[in-house]
């Protein structure tokens, strides 16, 4: 970092709006929502969704209640085009749902996008071009007038070329985004939005959507609200305009920026489930929607089964919801502090049916979103590795390495899902012991003895391998290395130790040692093993035997 004074960066300019109204307003109704998971969210994935995954995700968004869903950029790739056609030709779009596609202001891309939309019952054609000074200078080398010309020409071309779709019964709406709006001069943003509106000629029955994106979040949320109010008050056809937000989260304030912009007059919000998106992500619609709900405003989308929504999200995107993510995280309703747990239990006991929710530390009833609160974490098929690790440590003293947490979490979830019930801590422990402590396999340890001779440790062990007893010996810089050397002469798979950790289990003379071993075999397989013993030297030896049995 640069030492003070910081000259490398500049403060973001304020908006001249001395009579701003938004600070004294209250949100009283939910906005219109548009999910951009399948476009903006999908393009940010290391492994974008395929057609089948996008279809499953689309169906989930419909079930939740989204009426506007941006499904992709059909002119950009064949997968995007094919997915659009799959939805239309398969009659998979409910009559009250509009699909939305994104397109740059280019004739060839507009024509290709219209091919993809042929037969769509209701579609939003989302056109955009960049408008900020640096985009004009660095990317386009264009004047303001030329940038306006790009936008209005594209809208005029779209109006002409989309007429056959409209004549065949498709309802076509226009959304226009001056990309990088928040870093564009406000007077120019207004000028280009007015020019686009002039060209489109909206009506009360077919309003134009003007989307004002915080493509990159540069300013504090109050500045964003000022920008939105400034625009809302100056649009000459505001009554024919749906004013839309599209906030990113570069400063970590996407939710706040959206909520203040709703106070400033916005009608519509674009975002993604759990905030998936480029860099630090898009706006998290789940958070904003449930924030409204906790203030007595129904968000208009159904998040009552948040665990199942999250399961589809994580499987299709291959992203994980953070354990402390608002509302949806594994630990969102878990207090590890004893004083917090006590306050929660006492206030929960005082909660009366029909009365306003007033449980300490928990702003929403977890049952309303299909979740539960337990002072001591309990595990079901929706639980994550964090919950399993918490039970194993607090109930039984096992401090599982992260890699073991993940593996055991999947095992526990699968068993719980198969049984259809919550698993008690004793059942989780039994699964852990069956999986790691005494895994059935070809090798068992009968005895082990190690002695140090100078700089080397010599080990002798008796093992049962394939039902036959063998005496083996080896040497190394410690008991683990010596035992691994001894096993290398048995015909067992060659392996290397990848990770090793240990801790005591309990206290006093009866305390046991527990060791965690991660091995990698010559063919690239990675396996974990766990060993316990009152002898600290034997615990890692048993862990190696456990890992070898699990990889065979």
Last residue of a domain, one of 412, 437, 462: 437
Spatial CA neighbour of 317 closest among 285, 272, 254: 272
**Ramachandran angles phi, psi of 245, nearest 5°:** -110, 150
Quick one: average pLDDT of 24-49?
A: 96
CATH number at residue 271: 3.20.20.70
Both 104 and 226 in a single domain?
Answer: yes
Tell the burial category of 14 from Cβ atoms under 10 Å away from its Cβ (0-12, 13-18, 19+).
exposed
Quick one: average pLDDT of 294-306?
A: 97
Q: How far apart are CA 281 and CA 247, in angstroms?
A: 9
pLDDT over 70 (residue 378) = no
pLDDT at 387: 65
Both 451 and 417 in a single domain?
Answer: no
Q: Work out the number of other CB atoms within 10 angstroms of the CB of residue 183.
A: 20
pLDDT band at 344 (very low <50, low <70, confident <90, very high): confident
Lowest mean per-residue pLDDT among 89-98, 170-179, 453-462: 453-462
Under a CB-based contact definition with an 8 Å cutoff, are residues 328 and 60 in contact? no
Q: Work out the number of other CB atoms within 10 angstroms of the CB of residue 363.
A: 16
Residue given tokens 């405003």 in the structure block: 297
- Asked if residue 540 is part of any domain, the answer here is yes
**Structural domain for 268, as ranges:** 22-317
Both 383 and 489 in a single domain?
Answer: no
- Asked if residue 29 is part of any domain, the answer here is yes
Overall number of domains in the chain: 3
Both 287 and 389 in a single domain?
Answer: no
pLDDT band at 35 (very low <50, low <70, confident <90, very high): very high
Q: Which tens digit of pLDDT belongs to each residue from 383-432?
A: 556 667 777 887 899 999 988 988 998 898 889 888 887 788 899 999 99
- Asked if residue 331 is part of any domain, the answer here is no
Last residue of a domain, one of 437, 456, 485: 437
Q: How far apart are CA 61 and CA 301, in angstroms?
A: 9
What's the CA angle centered on 248, arms 245 and 250, to 5 degrees? 150
pTM over 0.85: no
pLDDT over 80 (residue 340) = no
Residue given tokens 């309003």 in the structure block: 207
- Asked if residue 531 is part of any domain, the answer here is yes
DSSP tag of 211: E
Query: Which token pair is 32?
Result: 């219109």
- Asked if residue 217 is part of any domain, the answer here is yes
pLDDT band at 506 (very low <50, low <70, confident <90, very high): confident
């Amino acid at each position: 970092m640069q030492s003070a004074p910081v000259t490398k960066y500049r403060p973001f300019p304020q908006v001249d709006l001395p009579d701003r109204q938004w600070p004294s307003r209250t949100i009283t109704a939910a906005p219109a929502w548009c999910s951009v998971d399948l476009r903006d969210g999908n393009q940010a994935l290391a492994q974008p969704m395929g057609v089948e995954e996008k279809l499953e995700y689309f169906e989930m968004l419909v079930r939740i209640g989204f009426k506007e869903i941006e499904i992709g950029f059909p002119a950009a790739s064949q997968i995007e085009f094919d997915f659009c056609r799959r939805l239309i030709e398969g009659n998979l779009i409910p009559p009250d749902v509009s699909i939305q596609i994104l397109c740059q202001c280019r004739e060839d891309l507009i024509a290709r996008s219209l091919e993809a939309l042929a037969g769509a019952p209701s579609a939003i054609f989302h056109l955009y071009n960049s408008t900020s000074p640096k985009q004009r200078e660095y990317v386009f080398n264009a004047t303001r007038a030329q940038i306006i010309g790009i936008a209005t020409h594209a809208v005029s071309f779209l109006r002409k070329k989309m007429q056959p779709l409209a004549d065949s019964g498709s309802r076509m709406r226009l959304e226009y985004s001056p990309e990088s709006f928040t870093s564009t001069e406000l007077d120019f943003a207004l000028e280009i939005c007015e020019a686009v509106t002039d060209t489109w000629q909206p009506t009360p029955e077919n309003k134009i959507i003007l989307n004002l994106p915080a493509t990159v979040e540069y300013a504090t949320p109050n500045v964003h609200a000022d920008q939105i109010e400034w625009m809302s008050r100056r649009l000459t056809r505001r009554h024919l305009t749906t004013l839309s937000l599209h906030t990113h989260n570069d400063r970590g304030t996407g939710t706040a920026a959206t909520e203040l912009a709703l106070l400033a007059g916005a009608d519509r919000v674009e975002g993604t489930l759990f905030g998936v998106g480029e860099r630090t992500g898009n706006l998290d619609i789940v958070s904003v929607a449930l924030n409204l709900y906790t203030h007595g405003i129904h968000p208009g989308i159904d998040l009552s089964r948040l665990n199942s929504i999250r399961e589809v999200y994580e499987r299709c995107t291959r992203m994980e919801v953070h354990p402390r993510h608002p509302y949806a995280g594994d630990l969102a309703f878990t207090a590890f502090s004893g004083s917090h747990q006590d306050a929660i239990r006492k206030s929960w006991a005082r909660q009366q049916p029909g009365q306003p929710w007033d449980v300490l530390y928990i702003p929403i009833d977890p049952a309303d979103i299909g979740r539960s609160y337990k002072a001591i974490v309990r595990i079901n098929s929706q639980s994550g590795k964090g919950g399993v690790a918490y039970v194993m440590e607090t109930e039984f003293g096992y401090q599982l390495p992260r890699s073991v947490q993940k593996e055991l979490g999947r095992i526990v979830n699968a068993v719980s899902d198969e049984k259809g019930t919550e698993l008690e801590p004793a059942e989780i422990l039994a699964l852990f012991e069956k999986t790691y402590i005494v895994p059935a396999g070809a090798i068992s340890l009968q005895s082990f003895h190690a002695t140090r001779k100078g700089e080397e440790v010599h080990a002798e062990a008796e093992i049962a391998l394939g039902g036959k007893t063998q005496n083996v010996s080896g040497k190394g810089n410690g008991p683990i290395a010596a035992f691994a050397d001894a096993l290398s002469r048995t015909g067992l798979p060659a392996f290397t130790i990848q990770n090793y950790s240990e801790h005591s289990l309990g206290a006093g003379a009866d305390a046991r040692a527990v060791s965690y071993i991660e091995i990698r075999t010559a063919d690239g397989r990675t396996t974990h093993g766990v060993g316990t013993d009152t002898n600290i030297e034997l615990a890692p030896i048993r862990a190696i035997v456990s890992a070898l049995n699990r990889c065979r």
